[in-house]
Chains A and B, each alone.
Chain A
Amino acid sequence: MSSIEFRKDLFADERDDNLNEIGKPTIRQDILGHVTGRSPFYDDHLFDGLLHMRCVRSPHHHARIRSIDFSAAQRMPGVVRIVEAKDVPHNLNTLLSLLNFGRDDEPLIAPKKVAYIGEPVLAIIAETERQARDAIAAVRVDWEVLPHVLDVVEALKPGAPSVNEVYPNNTFDYGPYDHQKLRFGDVERAFQEADHIVEGEYQMSPIEQAPMETAGAIAAPETNDRYVCYTSTQALFFSLGTTAKLMNMASSRLHFVGGTVGGGFGGKVDSIVEPMSVLGAMLTGRPVKFMWDREEEMQVGAPRGAERWRIKDGIARDGRIIARSFTGFFDAGAYIRLSSYAVQKGVGHLPGPYSIPNVAANVFMVFTNRTPATAMRGFGITGVDFAIECHMDKGAETVGMDPIEFRILNAYRDGDMKAHRRTAKNTALIESCQVAASKAGWRIAPDYAQMSSLVGGGVGDRAAIPETVTDRIGLIGERRRAEMPTEPYAGSSERGRVPAGTANEAIGAAAPQREDMQIDLARMGIRKPSAQPQPPQQQPHYQPASPVPPRPIPSATPPSAAASFTPAPPRSPAPPQQPAEPAASQPTPPQSQPASQPAGQPQPYQPERPFQRGVTRPGVSRFISGTRRR
């Protein structure tokens, strides 16, 4: 029915032409259930004596809970159980803790303080949904309203209220910094050489996924001391692991059934409804449904986070972009969820599909008193691409070029070195521009219509990592003590340099947080390289080109005179593909983490036994924790 046009003239030698399925109509294996109304969505599982769970939610952006009076609710007809924060066995989690990424920062039911409108503070389980709603309405909460912050730039100012007590500076920690850095070449020098400077600021709004089926789950005790959970989740094992952690039980006691999702688009990975329903089944011994209604789906269902981007381009007279710097603010809302990862993903994408020799970025994951943000279709990329493409049009206008020709001129090509220090492969921006122009009847100059992604890339400087300017500005906590600019560069005297060609060096990489969560190569069936493999180059990794005066740092970290960048700590394991670098060649002592966590915070979750990653028997699975064994 639909028409797909195959452009077999493009990149014909890069693929086989024996496509069996693509381009041919096929019937989905699940569609019979869809058209007969028999597909088993989570709410289509019937249980005798099903109970309904609903939440008391915060009407304030930011408030402390003085007390909760549920005595009237308790006496109402049909009410089976009041669920308080203290009923949650382990009431602190962050979604990405299963990936060892970020400190636990979010309770399932808020015990002391709420940080966004709609945050749950109490749950009630009743015989019918209406009785649960009536009981919820009878709960009285005594709130102490706190000042709130809803704007990402306001949240970085020294006087801004702390949204999340686990991250009191309102920013996620990327290694020792309060932002994710990207440094490639020297943007400052290139800006001085550029003929045009083009600046712009771009803001997008949060976007609700709005699936047709609202998120929810039904949990029930099984006959074998397990709990079955029918759920709308998009990430079944994510939800299972999160539930096991919050309920402080072995995941083998959880039987999760999912896979039929009434639309997700990213909004059903947050694993909130599953632990709530399992908790209800644990506390009542009966089947419990926890389902968001449409209002909750829109209000507390996590949206795609809003992003604000400032972009500055240095453009030569002939249209080449020679420098591009970014300052990005990713609005995470009140808790991390997946935003910390979205920022890293977005920074890996910079500067977009273009070959630009000098790139710098400072990207902040900012906590605000908004609904926490989460995944949605290409999150971390979509917002910044919107900004980049708007900015490309602005750049084309400034130099007086056709916008499509301007993109083709600056497009990356096969073999070009990208700012994240990987070589570009299978690039197709030039061809996409050419086809789009011809489809739209947009005329481009003949020489631009002749260009190819396969020609001209990877030659000379295009293939190389340039000498790179680094800095240590923006250590955690610094920003709140003194009002600091967020821009990527602030004064040449404080900068160090990494010589050209330092591929595969993690510059300012985040330190692993817990030893026991590192990949044990032996357990995964990967033989460690015997003794000391001779590395290709034996010289020290990098030496400062000139002695850089160490920046006076107010934190407890002793200034390291050896280098003004932060090398990856030696205990960081090398990726399995590459032989481990001998740690002895690191000239610097291990970086000590700056003291950023004030005392008196909730301790991170420490299970009795260390988390066991992957399977213990080599050879059981081809895929272990996302690493393909070779």
Chain B
Amino acid sequence: MAKKPISFTHNGRETAVFAESGSNLLDMLRRVVGDLSPKYGCGQGTCGSCTVLIDGEPHLSCLTLAETVEGRNVETTGGLQRGPDLHPLQKAFMEGFSAQCGYCTPGMLMAAKALLDRNPRPTREEVIEAISGNLCRCTGYEPIVDAIMAASGQVSGRVA
């Protein structure tokens, strides 16, 4: 099968790879680039485990053709950390017990980052809306919402 060259920005670094024509972004990131932080959950765009940011917008990488990120900026959970410093969202997730099995966490973090980059002080309802495309089967939604509120510098706790 023909392979296509694709060049894009991956977590701030210029990257160029050869990917199989027709392959999806999730497989390209995991198998070719070697960034294992986006996870395969369903391959159908229902679970949100594979969420990455493309030019700041959350996208389901399992349903995105790899070729479409040519020249664009792709961010994943693997690039959230700055040197030894964790992103505020990562810190809030750690302190708030917001992960159990940890499989949905990378997708949750990217959905949350997209929200906070756009809206630094969201309401609780906006947080719930922003992660509504991400499933957590351990059903730890409350601590996740609390952590995102905490990361936005707002007092955690139920607003409504």
Contacts and interface: CB of A to CB of B under 8 A. Distances in A.
Q: Do A and B come from one complex?
A: yes
Given A31-B93, A263-B101, A294-B42, A1 B36 contact: no
A2 interface: yes
B85 to A, nearest CB: 12
Contacts of B138: 263
Given A212-B47, A212-B137, A263-B138, A37 B103 contact: no
A1 B147 CA distance: 10
A119 B34 CA distance: 34
A31 B137 contact: no
Contacts of B106: 37
Interface string A27-49: 11011111111110101101000
A27 B95 contact: yes
Contacts of B78: 36-38
A598 interface: no
B104 interface: yes
A293 B46 CA distance: 13
B144 to A, nearest CB: 11
Given A25-B97, A262-B103, A37 B137 contact: no
Contacts of B137: 209-212, 263, 265
B60 interface: no
A263 to B, nearest CB: 4
A199 interface: no
A35 B148 CA distance: 13
Nearest to B157: A1
A33 B106 CA distance: 10
A358 B43 CA distance: 53
Contact of B43 (A27, A31, A260, A294): A294
A213 interface: yes
Given A211-B137, A265-B137, A294-B43, A35 B97 contact: no
B97 A28 contact: yes
A261 interface: yes
* A: contact size bracket: 20 to 34
A36 B93 contact: no
B34 A213 contact: no
Nearest to B40: A43
A260 B34 CA distance: 19
A293 B43 contact: yes
Interface in A222-267: 260-265
Nearest to B136: A212
Given A2-B143, A41-B39, A212 B101 contact: yes
B146 interface: yes
Contacts of A46: 31, 34, 36
B90 A36 contact: yes
Nearest to A263: B101
Interface in B23-56: 31, 34, 36-44, 47, 49
Given A1-B146, A212-B49, A262-B39, A39 B102 contact: yes
A212 to B, nearest CB: 4
Given A31-B99, A35-B90, A212 B41 contact: yes
B96 A262 contact: no
B90 to A, nearest CB: 4
Contacts of A260: 102
A213 B94 contact: no
A37 B146 contact: no
With a 10 A CB-CB cut-off, give which of A2, A28, A260, A262 has the most chain B CB atoms: A262
Nearest to B94: A31
A46 B37 CA distance: 13
B102 A31 contact: yes
A37 B41 contact: no
B109 interface: yes
Interface string A429-441: 0000000000000
B107 to A, nearest CB: 9
B62 to A, nearest CB: 10
Interface in B45-101: 47, 49, 76-78, 80-81, 86, 89-90, 93-97, 99-101
Nearest to B90: A35
B9 interface: no
Contacts of B101: 211-213, 261-264
B97 to A, nearest CB: 7
A74 to B, nearest CB: 20
A31 B138 CA distance: 15
A1 B105 contact: no
A1 B97 contact: yes
A207 to B, nearest CB: 12
B156 interface: yes
Contacts of B19: none
B130 interface: no
A214 B20 CA distance: 24
A163 B109 CA distance: 47
Nearest to B38: A37
B135 interface: yes
With a 10 A CB-CB cut-off, give which of B37, B77, B103 has the most chain A CB atoms: B103
Contacts of B135: 212
A78 B9 CA distance: 32
Given A27-B94, A263-B138, A35 B99 contact: yes
B40 A38 contact: no
With a 10 A CB-CB cut-off, give which of B40, B96, B101, B156 has the most chain A CB atoms: B101
A294 B44 contact: yes
Interface in B114-145: 135-138, 142-143
Interface in A193-228: 209-214
Contacts of B42: 294
B138 to A, nearest CB: 6
Interface in A1-55: 1-2, 25, 27-28, 30-39, 41, 43-44, 46
A36 B77 contact: yes
Nearest to A298: B42
What are the nearest 9 A-B pairs in CB distance? Answer: A37-B37, A34-B102, A262-B103, A37-B77, A294-B42, A212-B103, A35-B90, A34-B99, A263-B101
Given A27-B94, A34-B99, A35-B109, 5 more contacts: A25-B95, A28-B97, A36-B37, A37-B78, A262-B39
Interface of B: 20, 31, 34, 36-44, 47, 49, 76-78, 80-81, 86, 89-90, 93-97, 99-106, 109, 135-138, 142-143, 146, 156
30 contacts: A1-B97, A1-B146, A2-B142, A2-B143, A30-B102, A31-B97, A31-B99, A35-B77, A35-B94, A35-B105, A36-B77, A36-B90, A38-B36, A38-B37, A44-B36, A46-B34, A209-B137, A211-B137, A212-B104, A212-B136, A212-B137, A213-B41, A214-B41, A261-B101, A262-B39, A263-B101, A263-B138, A264-B101, A294-B41, A294-B47
